[in-house]
Structure 1
């Protein structure tokens, strides 16, 4: 069954947010590496923990997009 326009929009929005989280995590890992090399290991570790959260959130959003595609999540517009 093809997706309705609201569901296509929702899926596209969630995919975009997941992509933003992935890009942000990659950039934070680069900053963490520079902090570590500069001797600021505590802040580097804090950023790496943030990256872990971002990756988990990205994975959750991917599951949601799969559920939208399967028809388990339906967006209604009033």
Structure 2
């Protein structure tokens, strides 16, 4: 079953948001490694927790995008901008 245009857009938006979270998490992880090297272990651990939280949310959004593709989630009407 082909996706409607609103569902295609929903899927693209979810995938884009997931990708942004992924790269933000990667950036936070890199910064936390630098912080660890400078001796700020507490700050580094807090940054790593945040990076892991972003990764969990990324996984959820990617799962939702898959559900849109499978037809289990759909956008009821075209959203106006």
1:1-78 to structure 2, matched below 5 A, reads 1-77=1-77
Counterpart-to-counterpart distance in 2, 1:12 and 1:6: 10
* CA-based RMSD: 0.8
Q: Which runs of 5+ in 1 are unaligned?
A: none
Provide TM-score, normalisation by structure 2.
0.93
Aligned length: 78
| CA drift at 1:46 | 0.2
| CA drift at 1:52 | 0.8
Counterpart-to-counterpart distance in 1, 2:66 and 2:30: 30
